[in-house]
A = this chain, B = another copy of it.
Amino acid sequence: MTSPKLYLEDLVPGQIFESGSHTLTAEEIVEFAGRFDPQFFHLDHEAAKASLFGGLAASGWHVASTTMRLMVQSSVIAGGLIGAGAEIAWPRPTRPGDTLRVITEIVEVTPSRSRPERGMVLVRSKTLNQLDEIVQTMASRMVVPRRTPAETAP
């Protein structure tokens, strides 16, 4: 990556970042589920038809992990993407062959009171499929370093 890195001072609410894309294959969906979420609706096409999903669907944690990869690969935030926590929802299943991409918006930038060298940033991301349908929403709090440490009270 040759883009200049962004520090806390460079981020403002409303800024939007867009990731590249990744297509989830049936093989990837089944392999991830076998390791981390071994339930029949993530593992077996035929059996999944009788489930709430009506067919094979990716584990939500697979969608979240793929979202993370797309965000990391496209990120220009200095210090990396370090999340303290997240609120996540999966309004619709992700299917084999779906091509996912992530749109992330900076919502809030808060310099730390106790740590002059960093701050917290609230971001909202939407993970979309190839039909622009939202398959995941996430609000996450991230630790971002300052370019120049803040002046502290004497």
Choose one: B40, B81, B84; the contact of A80 (CB below 8 Å): B40
- A73-115 interface (Cβ within 8 A of B): 73, 79-90
**Do A85 and B85 touch across chains, with their CB atoms under 8 A apart?**
no
Choose one: B41, B61, B81, B89; the contact of A68 (CB below 8 Å): B61
Contact with B along A24-55 (1 / 0, CB 8 A): 00000000100111111100000000011000
**This protein's copies in its complex:** 2
**Do A84 and B90 touch across chains, with their CB atoms under 8 A apart?**
yes
Residues of B contacting A51 in the complex (Cβ-Cβ under 8 angstroms) = 80
- Docked complex Cα distance between A1 and B13 (Å): 50
Residues of B contacting A86 in the complex (Cβ-Cβ under 8 angstroms) = 60, 87-89
**Do A37 and B85 touch across chains, with their CB atoms under 8 A apart?**
no
Q: In the complex, what's the smallest C-beta–C-beta distance from A93 to chain B, in angstroms?
A: 10
Contact status of A37 and B72, CB under 8 A, knowing A52-B82, A52-B143, A82-B52: yes
**Do A59 and B64 touch across chains, with their CB atoms under 8 A apart?**
no
Residues of B contacting A143 in the complex (Cβ-Cβ under 8 angstroms) = 52
- Docked complex Cα distance between A59 and B66 (Å): 12
**Do A68 and B59 touch across chains, with their CB atoms under 8 A apart?**
yes
